[in-house]
Chain A
Amino acid sequence: MAELSFNLLHTLDPRRDAYGFALRPQHVQRYKEYAKIYKEEEGERSDKWKEFFERLVISDQPCSSDEEYKETLRVEATECKIETVLESEESDDSGGKKSISDGSKERDLEKEVHRSKETKTHEVQTWAQIRPSLGAIEIMMSSRILMSKDMIDEQKTISGDHLPSIEEAKSPGGASEEEFDGDVYVNATSDDNANATGTVTAEVDEVSPKNLFPLKEEVEFLVRGGVPKDLRGEVWQAFVGVKTRRVERYYQNLLAQEANDGEHKDHEDSSGVPKKWKRQIEKDIPRTFPGHPALDDNGRNSLRRLLLAYAQHNPSVGYCQAMNFFAGLLLLLMPEENAFWTLVGIIDDYFGGYYTEEMIESQVDQLVFEELMRERFPKLVNHLDYLGVQVAWISGPWFLSIFVNMLPWESVFRVWDVLLFEGNRVMLFRTALALMELYGPALVTTKDAGDAITLLQSLAGSTFDSSQLVLTACMGFLAVTEARLQELRTKHRPAVLVVVEERSKRGRVWKDSKGLASKLYSFKHDPVSLIEEKKSAEGGDNLELLNSLSVDSELGSLPDLQEQVVWLKVELCRLLEEKRAAVLRAEELETALMEMVKQDNRRELSARVELLEQELAELKQALADKREQETAMLQVLMRVEQEQRVTEDARISAEQDAAAQRYAVHVLQERYEKALASVAEMEKRVVIAESMLEATLQYESGQSKAHASPRSTRNQDTSTRKTGLLSFGLGWRDRNKGKPTDVKESNLSHSPNEGMDPSSSEKETKNEQKET
């Protein structure tokens, strides 16, 4: 339905692009220029894909050819009358439900809608199968789903696992190889077809005896060049594996359930979509592509049904802002139920853990991206650090929206083409890196945080050269593979989990005073004197820690011990992180101090020293707190052990766990000692710094006697100090100066002489980052 309207309308409104989306006023002109290029590209694309399908039909010769398919369809399509599930919607919906073919131009690969007898008898509201010529792609992609279901079964316990990308599942070559060895994906891959992992090949073999890998490569090439507009909806479905995912009548049942719930609104405990999501969906529907011609009342009803059905389908996600845009986008390209299954594939698989209540994976990805940025663009990141800009401020929204509203639509579609094809989030990273590569040279010329962010946002928003973007992304960052990303995610996830854990703890304390009371109560059964300590340490970290521990020990059974061990591990991670941060900070301070001495600025110096001392005190305090926590932990551990003696049957395994804990505590202690040592080290440094300061002061007092006007030159002083810092930083970066790259945006008057070298190696990065 959507396509119908936008095909008719897009030519009429110059303020909208070929997809019916509003153009920003400042982009109308650029868009016009690029519209010609898009058209040319689209023509080439259609030819290539057409030729590809022709070859496919000849070599593959499936039982039903496209021609036959069309024949039968024409008959069916004209006869077909669709009955709606939701009768209330029926009246004004019929126009919209006419098959897409009504509106589509007679292209070589024309749009045909399949409404088979089967779907008709089941009263499917809007569901269309994709053309058979895409079957081969569909089968290839479906094998990925089967494979991943397999994987999920195998590693049910592991959270946050992702689809294995076909990329990894097949390509043994490539620059990335030495970066991951012995990885699952690689193992499954290297042999071309003979003995990859049993189940996987079995599945593939079942559907098609042919080796699909050459096909995959060819499709990959085509996809990077872009999917033809008219095919996009169906090709995306093939990529996501909609046919394999689809469960007959599932969508209708979700809708019916939802409609039922609507009737009994007063039931609070109804199984339907929770109110908060419904309300949010209602708030967001009018704010989804406002004014888009296809999103009229019918379109919005579709959008609402789709989002409600999804929320019902996956309560761990429910509804998250951003999904409204995805659903809206999909509805522009395909019938409603197809859009539903595509959305399911994207949110459940491609972006598993991304849009859930805690948004853990999305936070993990930001840390991963920052690391990749530091590795790839050390100079740029240094500059952003210097300006006080965090990469995640900008990349966060990019990732969460999958670039929707962040790039021109042509580019969004091209990125989605590749992303959906690859079946993972590699393209997300590669695109973001490509944007940094394209615009980094302009960014390093900015002078303050606001300018940098504004510039990057506006440059990204005018990335009309979608082919350049996609090619840069796909060819420039081959080393960014799913395997590498997984490795980095595993590395960064604990840090996110700690923060999430703390947040939820905080939430518990705030929201749930009853819960707190019961926790306190549980302590009264306890002979240990923890209560006093707890009361005295009111409000502090300690309290929270004890609370959580007390809850754990309340149950006093085995799983708790495991939980505690996990918790201790997490705690250990955090401590390590803190120590690392402290060391880094110490180094930073030292550098800064040296810089200050150089600049000979008395006031700054004493302020800095004061700060230093303050920070040192804070650090000491933190360490003392940690030690307190540790004793608390130990006491709880002892208590747990007592309980162990009482519970005979649980004893053996409990002892094992306790040993593990003791070991963890031991490790913790060791870490504390190390941290203490490093603090001592820092203290030494401060002493040195102080003596340096004293020397400087003496020197200065001598100086100031000589020249007696420090006040009047103060402003100048600070500015030279700043440039001094700047040149210090820049000089430092210049050592790794790469070949300059041109900025495409010529409207930026600066000629960037600090080029970004995309191939700068990891070794350099390590130097730059002052890794510990």
Chain B
Amino acid sequence: MGCSSSLPDRSSGQLAGLNSENGGVSDAKNLRVKLVLLGDSGVGKSCIVLRFVRGQFDPTSKVTVGASFLSQTIALQDSTTVKFEIWDTAGQERYAALAPLYYRGAAVAVVVYDITSPESFAKAQYWVKELQKHGNPDIVMALVGNKADLNEKREVPVQDGIDYAEKNGMFFIETSAKTADNINQLFEEIAKRLPRPASS
């Protein structure tokens, strides 16, 4: 974990985590995408995934230890399908040591913060920097301000999110796992931004 030096990096020769090589059906019409969720503990990463995959919100979610995996396929309007292979990581600072294991070779990174917590916004910026330095060079990054339903407790202005995302070439959206607001949109927008394998 965090050090694969004993092995050559298997994903190095591949198309940005679009697993076109590995036997699966991943052509121009059916994409498979490795996506990783990063962000401070408690911002709602697990809730976002559960909302997206199972359509539920559990206000008493479980602490994520290490990481957990879920996958979900969506169909786009142009009749392509995208299968998201989602790694939901643990948010506590020290688990960052294990994060490279999961974001290495990922095609998409979703960096989440909590709009009621400036601290989590700072943490999100840390993750963006880390990904820029050590992530896949053509990784698609999304910045997500979660818990948008708690607008009355907001401490991170929407504009801050927008500005930061723009500066870093990221896609930005505010979501609520609780009300399901923008959750599907988040993943659909990501899907649209994916590089497609050449279909010549």
Which A residues are closer than 8 A to B by beta carbons?
276, 280, 283-284, 286-288, 290-291, 320-322, 324-325, 355-359, 362-363, 366-367, 385-388, 390, 392-394, 396-397, 400-401, 404-405, 447-450, 453-454, 457, 492, 495-496, 498-500, 503, 506, 510, 574, 577-578, 580-582, 584-585, 588, 611, 615, 715, 722, 726
Chain A residues lying within 8 Å of B41, measured Cβ to Cβ, are 280, 283-284, 321
Tell me how far the C-beta of A434 lies from the nearest C-beta in chain B, rounded to whole angstroms: 19
Tell me how far the C-beta of A460 lies from the nearest C-beta in chain B, rounded to whole angstroms: 12
Kindly state whether residue B62 has any CB partner on chain A within 8 Å.
yes
Instruction: Check A581 against B97 for contact (C-beta < 8 Å).
Output: no
User: What 7 pairs between A and B have smallest CB-CB spacing?
Assistant: A290-B60, A397-B66, A448-B24, A499-B3, A450-B85, A450-B71, A585-B8
Instruction: Check B97 against A500 for contact (C-beta < 8 Å).
Output: yes
Over the window 63-74 of chain B, the binary record of Cβ atoms lying under 8 Å from chain A Cβ atoms (1 yes, 0 no) is 111111111000
State which of B1, B22, B60, B101 has its C-beta within 8 Å of the C-beta of A387.
Answer: B22
A287 and B2 contact, Cβ closer than 8 Å, known pairs A320-B92, A396-B67, A611-B13 = no
Kindly state whether residue B179 has any CB partner on chain A within 8 Å.
no
Kindly state whether residue B10 has any CB partner on chain A within 8 Å.
yes
Complex-state Cα separation, A291 to B60, whole angstroms: 8
State which of B62, B83, B98 has its C-beta within 8 Å of the C-beta of A363.
Answer: B98
Instruction: Check A390 against B19 for contact (C-beta < 8 Å).
Output: no
Instruction: Check A388 against B22 for contact (C-beta < 8 Å).
Output: yes
State which of A355, A449, A580, A582 has its C-beta within 8 Å of the C-beta of B22.
Answer: A449
Kindly state whether residue B39 has any CB partner on chain A within 8 Å.
no
A359 and B97 contact, Cβ closer than 8 Å, known pairs A290-B60, A397-B67 = yes
Instruction: Check B101 against A722 for contact (C-beta < 8 Å).
Output: no
Instruction: Check B97 against A358 for contact (C-beta < 8 Å).
Output: yes
Tell me how far the C-beta of B71 lies from the nearest C-beta in chain A, rounded to whole angstroms: 4
Instruction: Check B71 against A495 for contact (C-beta < 8 Å).
Output: no
Kindly state whether residue B90 has any CB partner on chain A within 8 Å.
yes
How many A-B pairs have beta carbons closer than 8 Å: the answer is 158
Closest to A284 in B: B63
Chain B residues lying within 8 Å of A392, measured Cβ to Cβ, are 1, 101
A286 and B60 contact, Cβ closer than 8 Å, known pairs A322-B65, A448-B32, A611-B13 = yes
Instruction: Check A393 against B3 for contact (C-beta < 8 Å).
Output: no
Kindly state whether residue B129 has any CB partner on chain A within 8 Å.
yes
Kindly state whether residue B105 has any CB partner on chain A within 8 Å.
yes
Complex-state Cα separation, A578 to B58, whole angstroms: 46
A496 and B19 contact, Cβ closer than 8 Å, known pairs A363-B98, A393-B87, A449-B24 = no
A401 and B66 contact, Cβ closer than 8 Å, known pairs A577-B6, A584-B7 = yes
Would you give 30 A-B contacts (Cβ < 8 Å), ordered by A? Answer: A284-B41, A287-B61, A287-B63, A290-B61, A321-B63, A358-B94, A359-B98, A362-B1, A362-B98, A386-B23, A387-B23, A388-B10, A388-B11, A393-B102, A405-B62, A405-B65, A447-B23, A447-B24, A448-B32, A449-B24, A449-B32, A450-B69, A454-B71, A457-B69, A496-B2, A498-B5, A500-B2, A503-B2, A574-B5, A577-B5
Which of B60, B62, B94 is the most central at the interface, judged by chain A CB atoms within 10 Å of its CB?
Answer: B94
Chain A residues lying within 8 Å of B11, measured Cβ to Cβ, are 388
Complex-state Cα separation, A148 to B61, whole angstroms: 39
Tell me how far the C-beta of B133 lies from the nearest C-beta in chain A, rounded to whole angstroms: 8
Kindly state whether residue B195 has any CB partner on chain A within 8 Å.
no
State which of B3, B70, B93 has its C-beta within 8 Å of the C-beta of A498.
Answer: B3
Chain B residues lying within 8 Å of A715, measured Cβ to Cβ, are 27
Q: Please tell me the number of chain B residues within 8 Å of chain A, measured between CB atoms.
A: 53
A396 and B1 contact, Cβ closer than 8 Å, known pairs A448-B19, A448-B24 = yes
- Besides A495-B6, A582-B8, A726-B23, 10 more A-B contacts (Cβ < 8 Å) are A320-B94, A321-B64, A362-B98, A367-B1, A393-B102, A396-B66, A396-B101, A448-B24, A492-B6, A498-B5
Kindly state whether residue B42 has any CB partner on chain A within 8 Å.
yes
Complex-state Cα separation, A500 to B29, whole angstroms: 41
Chain B residues lying within 8 Å of A506, measured Cβ to Cβ, are 133
Chain B residues lying within 8 Å of A454, measured Cβ to Cβ, are 69-71
Which B residues are closer than 8 A to A by beta carbons?
1-8, 10-14, 19, 21-25, 27, 32, 34, 41-42, 58, 60-71, 83, 85, 87, 90-95, 97-98, 101-102, 105, 129, 133
Tell me how far the C-beta of A577 lies from the nearest C-beta in chain B, rounded to whole angstroms: 4
Chain B residues lying within 8 Å of A283, measured Cβ to Cβ, are 41-42
Chain A residues lying within 8 Å of B7, measured Cβ to Cβ, are 581, 584
Chain B residues lying within 8 Å of A722, measured Cβ to Cβ, are 23
Closest to A288 in B: B63
Instruction: Check B65 against A287 for contact (C-beta < 8 Å).
Output: no
Chain A residues lying within 8 Å of B98, measured Cβ to Cβ, are 359, 362-363, 396
Instruction: Check A499 against B22 for contact (C-beta < 8 Å).
Output: no
Chain A residues lying within 8 Å of B90, measured Cβ to Cβ, are 321
Chain B residues lying within 8 Å of A510, measured Cβ to Cβ, are 129
Complex-state Cα separation, A321 to B12, whole angstroms: 32
Chain A residues lying within 8 Å of B87, measured Cβ to Cβ, are 393
A290 and B1 contact, Cβ closer than 8 Å, known pairs A363-B98, A390-B101 = no
Chain B residues lying within 8 Å of A503, measured Cβ to Cβ, are 2, 97
Complex-state Cα separation, A580 to B4, whole angstroms: 12
Instruction: Check B95 against A321 for contact (C-beta < 8 Å).
Output: yes
Instruction: Check A397 against B65 for contact (C-beta < 8 Å).
Output: yes
Chain A residues lying within 8 Å of B133, measured Cβ to Cβ, are 506
Which of A276, A404, A499, A582 is the most central at the interface, judged by chain B CB atoms within 10 Å of its CB?
Answer: A499
Instruction: Check B22 against A393 for contact (C-beta < 8 Å).
Output: no
Complex-state Cα separation, A322 to B87, whole angstroms: 18
Chain B residues lying within 8 Å of A362, measured Cβ to Cβ, are 1, 98
Complex-state Cα separation, A361 to B102, whole angstroms: 18
State which of A324, A366, A448, A580 has its C-beta within 8 Å of the C-beta of B63.
Answer: A324
Instruction: Check A357 against B94 for contact (C-beta < 8 Å).
Output: yes
State which of B6, B12, B60, B102 has its C-beta within 8 Å of the C-beta of A287.
Answer: B60
Instruction: Check A499 against B2 for contact (C-beta < 8 Å).
Output: yes
Chain B residues lying within 8 Å of A394, measured Cβ to Cβ, are 69
Tell me how far the C-beta of B98 lies from the nearest C-beta in chain A, rounded to whole angstroms: 6
Complex-state Cα separation, A256 to B41, whole angstroms: 28
Complex-state Cα separation, A276 to B6, whole angstroms: 34
Chain A residues lying within 8 Å of B64, measured Cβ to Cβ, are 321
Complex-state Cα separation, A267 to B95, whole angstroms: 28
Instruction: Check B101 against A367 for contact (C-beta < 8 Å).
Output: no
Chain B residues lying within 8 Å of A390, measured Cβ to Cβ, are 4, 101
Tell me how far the C-beta of A669 lies from the nearest C-beta in chain B, rounded to whole angstroms: 21
Complex-state Cα separation, A588 to B105, whole angstroms: 19
Closest to B26 in A: A448
Chain A residues lying within 8 Å of B22, measured Cβ to Cβ, are 386-388, 448-449
Closest to A583 in B: B8
Instruction: Check B32 against A450 for contact (C-beta < 8 Å).
Output: yes
Which of A322, A454, A500 is the most central at the interface, judged by chain B CB atoms within 10 Å of its CB?
Answer: A322
Closest to A715 in B: B27
